Amino acid sequence: MPEGAQKANGQRLTFGPYVKNLSDALDGGVPPGSWVVLYGNPGSYKTLHALAFALAGLKEKERVVYVSTEQDWKSLKAQISSLGWDYKAHDAHLTMKLLEDKDFGTFDIVWIDLDSLRYLAYALNRIVREEGAGSRRRKYYWYYDPELFTFAIILGLEGVGVIDRRESEITLEQVERLRIKEGYYAREGDSRAMLTVNKDATARVVIDSISVLFTGRWSVAGRTLTDIRVRLEAPTITYLLTSHVSKLSEDEMGSQIGHIVDGRIRLWNELSGNAGRVTGWIAKMRLTDHSRALHEVKIAGKDNKYIEWSPLTR
């Protein structure tokens, strides 16, 4: 059985070797095809866990799309290098390169950074768009444009060879009717399959962070994420999202996100005595008998080369 099909049938996706013990706490790892949100306050290692999940996918010979809505490639690369982690550093793995070059081949990983997202918005004339009419007309900027964001991920999945379009171009209007698990984005009056999904390739999509899509619009976060998920989910593609927390609720930034995703991993840093400590908790993970215990999360190992989860004892 092909590797992608094996994982789609139950083999879990791990964070190893960059994060120790988390996969055990998850009852073996994340079920394939899941949508998982990792949320917490600043400094709680959200981005490091996101990078670890992406790089672990490369170790497992999976395809990876990493989307950063907060950092450019230079800062991402510096963060990875600071821990001595392995990565494939190809500056060509940016959306602007995928957009410009039609015959770009297939990569193991596509990095879509903050600069790439803005370039894509500029190239597609989506820096600012307006909806409504008269006094109810509202402006929507590129950093909370769900269609643009979905389009960027489609480009990334194509870049790693997970999907293949039957036509050379895809428009944002077609993205609005997208269903990649059905191989479908429809034109008006045409319901033929317009793309194919490589079912033999297991893929990970990491989005760090999803909160930018909901800036100033927290009440519609659930509806927005539901719409994105309906378009992009597939049995062999697993999504890990990071999210900031609300200062009022200490929950994911945005209404109803926790109900929509399959898994929730909470990280938070706090003062413990006269020092800081990061605590981790698996709040939810469908299809797994995961740990319910609180864990201390810290940078460990020789030369601080991995993150370690250790159960907290009272």
For residue 43, give the CATH number of its domain.
3.40.50.300
Cα–Cα distance, 257 to 238 (Å, whole number): 17
Q: From residue 31, how far is each of 2, 18, 163, 260 by CA, in Å?
A: 17, 18, 21, 16
- The widest CA-to-CA distance across the chain, in whole angstroms, is 65
How many separate domains does the chain show? Answer: 1
pTM of the predicted model, to two decimals? 0.89
pLDDT for 1: 34
What span, in angstroms and rounded, lies between the C-alpha atoms of 194 and 170? 9
Strand duo 63-68 + 109-112: pairing? parallel
User: What is the domain range of residue 104?
Assistant: 3-311
Residue 279, burial from CB neighbour count under 10 angstroms (0-12, 13-18, 19+): middle
Q: C-alpha angle 182/186/188, rounded to 5°?
A: 155
Q: 10 Å Cβ neighbour count for 273?
A: 6
- Distance, in Å, from the CA atom of 130 to the CA atom of 122, rounded to the nearest integer, reads 15
CA distances for 71 relative to 75, 166, 174, 241, 249, angstroms: 6, 33, 29, 15, 26
CB 157 within 8 A of CB 175: no
Q: Which two tokens stand for residue 141?
A: 């900027």
Residue in the structure block whose two tokens are 């006269």? 274
Residue 41 has what DSSP assignment? S
How many other C-beta atoms are found inside a 10 Å radius of the C-beta of residue 43? 11
Distances (CA, A) of 221 to 58, 120, 215, 265: 30, 23, 9, 18
Q: Check residue 23 and give its pLDDT.
A: 93
Residues near 274 by beta carbon (within 8 Å), at least 6 away in sequence: none
Tens of pLDDT, residue by residue, the chain (314 residues): 344 444 555 689 999 899 999 999 999 999 999 999 999 988 899 999 999 999 999 999 999 999 999 998 889 888 888 888 877 655 555 677 776 665 556 788 889 998 888 888 888 888 887 766 666 666 667 777 888 888 899 888 888 888 877 665 666 666 767 778 776 554 455 556 677 788 788 899 999 989 888 877 777 788 888 889 988 999 999 999 999 876 655 666 666 788 889 999 999 988 777 777 899 999 999 989 999 999 999 998 877 789 999 998 75
Tokens standing for residue 57 = 């996918």
Helices (H), the chain: 3-8, 22-25, 46-59, 73-82, 95-100, 114-123, 146-159, 172-175, 221-232, 257-260
Give whole-number Cα distances, 310 to 152, 206, 280, 307, in Å: 37, 24, 9, 10
DSSP code for 12? P
- Report how far Cα 82 is from the mean position of its chain's Cα atoms: 22
